Protein backbone atom coordinates (compact mmCIF):
# COMPACT_ATOMS: atom_id res chain seq x y z
CA UNK A 1 0.00 0.00 0.00
CA UNK A 2 2.38 2.69 -1.31
CA UNK A 3 4.93 1.36 1.25
CA UNK A 4 3.51 3.49 4.09
CA UNK A 5 3.49 2.06 7.61
CA UNK A 6 0.22 2.10 9.64
CA UNK A 7 1.56 4.98 11.75
CA UNK A 8 2.43 6.98 8.62
CA UNK A 9 -1.04 6.29 7.20
CA UNK A 10 -2.60 7.40 10.47
CA UNK A 11 -0.60 10.62 10.39
CA UNK A 12 -1.57 11.19 6.76
CA UNK A 13 -5.31 10.68 7.34
CA UNK A 14 -5.31 12.87 10.45
CA UNK A 15 -4.19 15.79 8.23
CA UNK A 16 -7.34 15.55 6.09
CA UNK A 17 -9.08 18.26 8.11
CA UNK A 18 -6.03 20.52 8.22
CA UNK A 19 -7.14 24.18 7.85
CA UNK A 20 -4.35 24.79 5.34
CA UNK A 21 -5.90 24.02 1.95
CA UNK A 22 -2.54 23.15 0.37
CA UNK A 23 -1.75 20.59 3.06
CA UNK A 24 -5.20 19.03 2.74
CA UNK A 25 -4.93 18.95 -1.05
CA UNK A 26 -1.51 17.27 -0.91
CA UNK A 27 -2.82 14.66 1.56
CA UNK A 28 -5.84 13.90 -0.64
CA UNK A 29 -3.60 13.43 -3.69
CA UNK A 30 -1.30 11.13 -1.72
CA UNK A 31 -4.23 8.99 -0.54
CA UNK A 32 -5.79 8.88 -4.04
CA UNK A 33 -2.42 7.71 -5.42
CA UNK A 34 -2.47 4.71 -3.08
CA UNK A 35 -5.72 3.59 -4.71
CA UNK A 36 -8.73 1.48 -3.73
CA UNK A 37 -6.74 -0.81 -1.42
CA UNK A 38 -6.67 1.96 1.21
CA UNK A 39 -10.51 1.97 1.47
CA UNK A 40 -10.78 -0.53 4.39
CA UNK A 41 -8.22 1.51 6.34
CA UNK A 42 -10.16 4.74 5.67
CA UNK A 43 -13.46 3.13 6.69
CA UNK A 44 -11.90 2.02 9.95
CA UNK A 45 -10.61 5.54 10.59
CA UNK A 46 -14.13 6.89 9.89
CA UNK A 47 -15.64 4.51 12.46
CA UNK A 48 -13.10 5.44 15.13
CA UNK A 49 -13.31 9.18 14.55
CA UNK A 50 -15.48 11.59 16.54
CA UNK A 51 -14.61 14.50 14.26
CA UNK A 52 -17.47 15.20 11.83
CA UNK A 53 -15.20 17.29 9.55
CA UNK A 54 -12.70 14.46 9.25
CA UNK A 55 -15.50 11.93 8.72
CA UNK A 56 -16.89 14.04 5.89
CA UNK A 57 -13.46 14.24 4.22
CA UNK A 58 -13.03 10.47 4.54
CA UNK A 59 -16.51 9.82 3.08
CA UNK A 60 -15.72 11.94 0.03
CA UNK A 61 -12.36 10.24 -0.47
CA UNK A 62 -13.81 6.73 -0.12
CA UNK A 63 -16.50 7.59 -2.66
CA UNK A 64 -13.92 8.98 -5.10
CA UNK A 65 -11.79 5.86 -4.75
CA UNK A 66 -14.79 3.54 -5.16
CA UNK A 67 -16.03 5.48 -8.16
CA UNK A 68 -12.53 5.33 -9.70
CA UNK A 69 -12.59 1.54 -9.29
CA UNK A 70 -16.05 1.34 -10.89
CA UNK A 71 -14.89 3.38 -13.91
CA UNK A 72 -11.84 1.14 -14.31
CA UNK A 73 -14.07 -1.97 -14.22
CA UNK A 74 -16.46 -0.40 -16.71
CA UNK A 75 -13.64 0.32 -19.18
CA UNK A 76 -12.37 -3.26 -18.75
CA UNK A 77 -15.89 -4.60 -19.34
CA UNK A 78 -16.21 -2.49 -22.49
CA UNK A 79 -12.96 -3.94 -23.81
CA UNK A 80 -13.76 -7.53 -22.83
CA UNK A 81 -14.59 -10.00 -25.57
CA UNK A 82 -18.04 -11.16 -24.49
CA UNK A 83 -19.27 -8.13 -22.46
CA UNK A 84 -20.98 -10.47 -20.04
CA UNK A 85 -24.40 -9.06 -19.13
CA UNK A 86 -24.40 -10.03 -15.45
CA UNK A 87 -20.92 -8.53 -14.98
CA UNK A 88 -22.08 -5.26 -16.58
CA UNK A 89 -25.17 -5.13 -14.35
CA UNK A 90 -23.02 -5.86 -11.28
CA UNK A 91 -20.66 -2.96 -12.14
CA UNK A 92 -23.65 -0.57 -12.43
CA UNK A 93 -24.96 -2.00 -9.14
CA UNK A 94 -21.71 -1.16 -7.33
CA UNK A 95 -22.40 2.54 -7.87
CA UNK A 96 -24.98 2.41 -5.06
CA UNK A 97 -23.65 -0.70 -3.31
CA UNK A 98 -19.83 -0.58 -3.65
CA UNK A 99 -19.28 -3.62 -1.40
CA UNK A 100 -21.60 -5.88 -3.40
CA UNK A 101 -19.83 -9.11 -4.27
CA UNK A 102 -20.26 -10.43 -7.83
CA UNK A 103 -20.40 -14.00 -6.48
CA UNK A 104 -23.44 -13.12 -4.32
CA UNK A 105 -25.33 -11.71 -7.30
CA UNK A 106 -24.32 -14.68 -9.43
CA UNK A 107 -25.53 -17.14 -6.76
CA UNK A 108 -28.90 -15.37 -6.48
CA UNK A 109 -29.36 -15.46 -10.24
CA UNK A 110 -28.41 -19.14 -10.30
CA UNK A 111 -31.09 -19.85 -7.69
CA UNK A 112 -33.73 -18.20 -9.90
CA UNK A 113 -32.48 -20.19 -12.91
CA UNK A 114 -32.70 -23.40 -10.84
CA UNK A 115 -36.34 -22.66 -9.90
CA UNK A 116 -37.20 -22.20 -13.59
CA UNK A 117 -35.12 -25.17 -14.73
CA UNK A 118 -36.92 -27.60 -12.38
CA UNK A 119 -40.25 -26.59 -13.97
CA UNK A 120 -38.89 -26.52 -17.51
CA UNK A 121 -39.35 -29.01 -20.35
CA UNK A 122 -37.14 -28.79 -23.45
CA UNK A 123 -39.69 -30.68 -25.54
CA UNK A 124 -42.30 -27.92 -25.24
CA UNK A 125 -43.05 -25.53 -28.09
CA UNK A 126 -41.44 -22.04 -27.77
CA UNK A 127 -44.71 -20.37 -26.63
CA UNK A 128 -45.14 -22.98 -23.89
CA UNK A 129 -41.51 -22.70 -22.84
CA UNK A 130 -42.01 -18.95 -22.41
CA UNK A 131 -45.24 -19.53 -20.48
CA UNK A 132 -43.32 -21.84 -18.12
CA UNK A 133 -40.71 -19.13 -17.45
CA UNK A 134 -43.53 -16.58 -16.97
CA UNK A 135 -45.28 -18.81 -14.48
CA UNK A 136 -42.16 -19.31 -12.32
CA UNK A 137 -40.91 -15.70 -12.47
CA UNK A 138 -44.21 -13.87 -12.11
CA UNK A 139 -46.44 -16.30 -10.19
CA UNK A 140 -44.15 -18.52 -8.09
CA UNK A 141 -41.33 -16.03 -7.42
CA UNK A 142 -43.68 -13.04 -7.67
CA UNK A 143 -41.52 -10.64 -9.68
CA UNK A 144 -43.58 -7.64 -10.78
CA UNK A 145 -43.49 -4.16 -12.29
CA UNK A 146 -42.53 -1.39 -9.88
CA UNK A 147 -45.30 0.93 -11.03
CA UNK A 148 -45.45 2.77 -7.68
CA UNK A 149 -41.80 3.87 -7.75
CA UNK A 150 -41.14 3.65 -11.46
CA UNK A 151 -38.38 6.30 -11.36
CA UNK A 152 -36.55 4.98 -8.28
CA UNK A 153 -32.76 4.51 -8.70
CA UNK A 154 -33.26 1.10 -7.08
CA UNK A 155 -34.93 -0.16 -10.27
CA UNK A 156 -31.55 0.01 -12.01
CA UNK A 157 -29.81 -1.94 -9.21
CA UNK A 158 -30.10 -5.68 -9.85
CA UNK A 159 -29.49 -6.56 -6.18
CA UNK A 160 -32.35 -4.27 -5.19
CA UNK A 161 -34.69 -5.81 -7.79
CA UNK A 162 -33.80 -9.31 -6.57
CA UNK A 163 -34.49 -8.26 -2.95
CA UNK A 164 -37.79 -6.44 -3.55
CA UNK A 165 -38.98 -8.53 -6.54
CA UNK A 166 -39.95 -5.24 -8.19
CA UNK A 167 -38.25 -3.61 -11.16
CA UNK A 168 -38.52 -1.51 -14.29
CA UNK A 169 -38.81 -2.96 -17.84
CA UNK A 170 -35.07 -3.30 -18.38
CA UNK A 171 -34.18 -4.89 -15.03
CA UNK A 172 -37.02 -7.43 -15.30
CA UNK A 173 -36.02 -8.19 -18.91
CA UNK A 174 -32.37 -8.62 -17.84
CA UNK A 175 -33.33 -11.22 -15.22
CA UNK A 176 -35.52 -12.98 -17.79
CA UNK A 177 -32.74 -12.95 -20.40
CA UNK A 178 -30.09 -14.28 -18.02
CA UNK A 179 -32.35 -17.20 -17.09
CA UNK A 180 -33.32 -17.87 -20.73
CA UNK A 181 -29.67 -17.86 -21.83
CA UNK A 182 -28.79 -20.52 -19.25
CA UNK A 183 -31.70 -22.59 -20.55
CA UNK A 184 -30.24 -22.25 -24.05
CA UNK A 185 -33.18 -20.26 -25.44
CA UNK A 186 -32.80 -17.64 -28.22
CA UNK A 187 -34.25 -14.78 -26.15
CA UNK A 188 -32.73 -11.29 -26.51
CA UNK A 189 -33.41 -7.69 -25.51
CA UNK A 190 -35.17 -5.23 -27.81
CA UNK A 191 -34.60 -1.50 -27.39
CA UNK A 192 -38.00 0.10 -28.00
CA UNK A 193 -38.67 3.81 -27.37
CA UNK A 194 -40.02 4.27 -23.79
CA UNK A 195 -40.15 0.50 -23.26
CA UNK A 196 -37.70 -2.38 -23.15
CA UNK A 197 -38.96 -5.82 -24.24
CA UNK A 198 -37.64 -9.23 -25.29
CA UNK A 199 -37.76 -11.23 -28.48
CA UNK A 200 -37.75 -14.98 -28.96
CA UNK A 201 -35.89 -15.24 -32.26
CA UNK A 202 -35.01 -18.56 -33.87
CA UNK A 203 -34.56 -19.58 -37.51
CA UNK A 204 -38.25 -20.40 -37.87
CA UNK A 205 -40.01 -18.33 -35.21
CA UNK A 206 -40.03 -14.77 -33.90
CA UNK A 207 -42.29 -13.27 -31.26
CA UNK A 208 -41.99 -10.72 -28.47
CA UNK A 209 -42.27 -10.80 -24.66
CA UNK A 210 -43.13 -7.94 -22.30
CA UNK A 211 -41.51 -8.78 -18.94
CA UNK A 212 -42.95 -5.57 -17.45
CA UNK A 213 -46.41 -7.04 -18.09
CA UNK A 214 -45.86 -10.53 -16.60
CA UNK A 215 -44.28 -11.90 -19.78
CA UNK A 216 -47.14 -11.02 -22.11
CA UNK A 217 -46.49 -12.48 -25.58
CA UNK A 218 -47.10 -10.19 -28.55
CA UNK A 219 -46.32 -9.86 -32.27
CA UNK A 220 -44.36 -7.67 -34.67
CA UNK A 221 -47.65 -5.99 -35.67
CA UNK A 222 -48.18 -4.98 -32.03
CA UNK A 223 -44.84 -3.14 -32.16
CA UNK A 224 -45.90 -1.41 -35.39
CA UNK A 225 -49.14 -0.30 -33.68
CA UNK A 226 -47.19 0.86 -30.60
CA UNK A 227 -44.84 2.96 -32.77
CA UNK A 228 -47.79 4.44 -34.69
CA UNK A 229 -49.34 5.40 -31.37
CA UNK A 230 -46.08 7.22 -30.50
CA UNK A 231 -46.04 8.72 -34.03
CA UNK A 232 -42.64 7.15 -34.72
CA UNK A 233 -41.19 5.62 -37.88
CA UNK A 234 -40.82 1.82 -37.54
CA UNK A 235 -37.00 1.48 -37.73
CA UNK A 236 -35.55 -2.03 -38.05
CA UNK A 237 -33.71 -1.72 -34.70
CA UNK A 238 -37.10 -1.60 -32.93
CA UNK A 239 -37.71 -5.22 -33.98
CA UNK A 240 -34.23 -6.72 -33.70
CA UNK A 241 -32.13 -7.98 -30.75
CA UNK A 242 -29.90 -5.35 -29.15
CA UNK A 243 -26.44 -5.83 -27.62
CA UNK A 244 -25.41 -6.14 -23.97
CA UNK A 245 -23.79 -2.73 -24.41
CA UNK A 246 -27.21 -1.26 -25.35
CA UNK A 247 -28.71 -2.79 -22.20
CA UNK A 248 -26.05 -1.40 -19.86
CA UNK A 249 -26.23 2.04 -21.50
CA UNK A 250 -30.01 2.09 -21.17
CA UNK A 251 -29.76 1.03 -17.50
CA UNK A 252 -27.34 3.91 -16.89
CA UNK A 253 -29.62 6.41 -18.65
CA UNK A 254 -32.51 5.23 -16.49
CA UNK A 255 -30.32 5.68 -13.42
CA UNK A 256 -29.34 9.18 -14.53
CA UNK A 257 -33.01 10.12 -15.06
CA UNK A 258 -33.88 8.77 -11.62
CA UNK A 259 -31.22 10.94 -9.95
CA UNK A 260 -32.30 13.93 -12.03
CA UNK A 261 -35.87 13.59 -10.73
CA UNK A 262 -34.46 13.48 -7.18
CA UNK A 263 -32.37 16.61 -7.83
CA UNK A 264 -29.10 14.73 -7.16
CA UNK A 265 -26.98 16.70 -9.63
CA UNK A 266 -23.64 15.28 -8.45
CA UNK A 267 -24.83 11.75 -9.09
CA UNK A 268 -26.29 12.72 -12.48
CA UNK A 269 -22.81 13.98 -13.46
CA UNK A 270 -21.15 10.76 -12.31
CA UNK A 271 -23.62 8.64 -14.28
CA UNK A 272 -22.80 10.77 -17.34
CA UNK A 273 -19.13 9.96 -16.80
CA UNK A 274 -20.00 6.25 -16.78
CA UNK A 275 -22.00 6.61 -20.00
CA UNK A 276 -19.10 8.50 -21.62
CA UNK A 277 -16.70 5.63 -20.83
CA UNK A 278 -18.93 3.23 -22.76
CA UNK A 279 -19.76 5.61 -25.61
CA UNK A 280 -16.34 7.13 -26.24
CA UNK A 281 -12.83 5.77 -25.73
Alpha helix positions (H), 183-243: 220-229
pLDDT value at position 242?
Answer: 97
Question: Under a CB-based contact definition with an 8 Å cutoff, are residues 188 and 242 in contact?
Answer: yes
Query: How many residues does this entry show for the chain?
Result: 281
CA 39 to chain centre: 22
Question: Under a CB-based contact definition with an 8 Å cutoff, are residues 175 and 110 in contact?
Answer: no
pLDDT class of 281 with cuts at 50, 70, 90: low
pLDDT value at position 36?
Answer: 87
Q: Is residue 18 predicted with pLDDT exceeding 80?
A: no
Q: Counting runs of H as helices and runs of E as strands, what totals does the chain give?
A: 12, 6
pLDDT value at position 4?
Answer: 74
> What is the rounded distance in angstroms from the CA atom of residue 281 to the CA atom of residue 275?
11
4-13, 98-107, 140-149, 187-196: lowest mean pLDDT where?
A: 4-13
The pairs formed by 237-240 with CB atoms below 8 angstroms and a separation of 24 or more are 237/191, 238/190, 238/191, 238/192, 238/193, 239/190, 239/199, 240/190, 240/199
Q: What is the pTM of this model?
A: 0.90
Q: Is 280 helix (H, G, I), strand (E, B) or coil?
A: coil
- Compute, in degrees rounded to 10, the torsion defined by CA atoms 61, 67, 72, 73: 130
> What is the rounded distance in angstroms from the CA atom of residue 135 to the CA atom of residue 60?
45
Domain range annotation of the chain: 6-79, 85-279
* Count of beta carbons in the 10 Å neighbourhood of residue 229: 8
Which residues on neighbouring strands pair with residue 209, listed in sequence order?
198, 217
b/e per residue, 160-180, with b = 16+ CB within 10 A?
bbbebebbbbbbbbbbbbbbb
Q: Is residue 78 predicted with pLDDT exceeding 80?
A: yes
Model pLDDT for residues 33-60, shown as the tens digit of each residue? 888 888 888 888 888 888 888 888 889 8
201 CB-side CA count, 13 A: 12
b/e per residue, 20-58, with b = 16+ CB within 10 A?
eeeeeeebbeebeebeeebbebbeebbeebeeeebbebb
Amino acid sequence: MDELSPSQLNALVSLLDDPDWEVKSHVRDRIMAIGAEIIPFLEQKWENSFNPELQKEIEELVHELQFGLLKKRLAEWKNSEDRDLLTGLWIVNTYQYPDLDFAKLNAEMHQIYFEVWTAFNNDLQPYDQVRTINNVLFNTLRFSANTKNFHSPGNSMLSNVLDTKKGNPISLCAIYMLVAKKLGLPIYGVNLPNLFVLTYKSADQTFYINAFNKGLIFSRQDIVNYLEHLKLEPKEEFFEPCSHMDIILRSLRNLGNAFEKLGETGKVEEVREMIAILENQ
